[in-house]
């Protein structure tokens, strides 16, 4: 990577940048996974898993809030990093255009209204996502598997 950096220092889009960013994303995700599972206790990691595996429909807010406001904010930050890292590591190939469409359709579906954690919104999310995008049994791939 250092040699790429030296040879492409004048380029606006160096070839190595994607790999450096991905490596940094994985490093941060590993830190977040450690923070949520070891540093904050199993209940925090379990609350994160429920939230991630439900596509955001089961809020971890009550569990996070039990640690105080400052800790809840830090845990929310770690959650965002970890879910991004899981997105980088899950599956064998990059997501297809159809997968991205399904995720965006689900995230911005107009029929998901009111309480985002309601039973109706959960059913709507399950109906919109294809089975291979439901991360329950494969969440985190091998790299970020639950401890």
Apex 80 CA angle, 75 and 81, nearest 5: 95
Percent of the chain clearing pLDDT 90 (strictly above): 0
Residue of 21 and 80 predicted with greater confidence:
80
Q: What mean pLDDT comes out for the span 72-81?
A: 86
Q: How confident is the model at residue 97 (pLDDT cuts 50, 70, 90)?
A: confident
Sign, CA dihedral 84-123-136-91, equals negative
Q: What mean pLDDT comes out for the span 103-109?
A: 82
Please state, rounded to an integer, the average pLDDT across all residues of the chain: 76
Which range has the worst mean pLDDT, 10-19, 101-110, 121-130? Answer: 10-19
Which pLDDT value is given to residue 140? Answer: 44
């Amino acid at each position: 990577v250092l040699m790429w950096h030296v040879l492409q220092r004048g380029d606006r889009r160096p070839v190595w940048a994607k790999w450096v960013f991905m490596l940094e994303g994985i490093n941060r995700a590993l830190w977040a996974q450690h923070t949520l599972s070891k540093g904050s206790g199993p209940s925090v990691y379990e609350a994160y898993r429920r939230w991630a595996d439900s596509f955001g429909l089961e809020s971890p807010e009550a569990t996070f809030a039990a640690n105080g406001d400052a800790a809840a904010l830090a845990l929310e930050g770690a959650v965002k990093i970890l879910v991004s890292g899981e997105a980088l590591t899950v599956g064998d190939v990059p997501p297809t255009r159809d997968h991205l469409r399904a995720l965006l359709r689900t995230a911005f579906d107009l029929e998901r209204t009111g309480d985002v954690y309601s039973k109706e919104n959960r059913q709507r999310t399950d109906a919109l996502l294809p089975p291979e995008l439901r991360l329950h049994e494969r969440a985190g791939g091998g790299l970020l598997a639950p401890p």
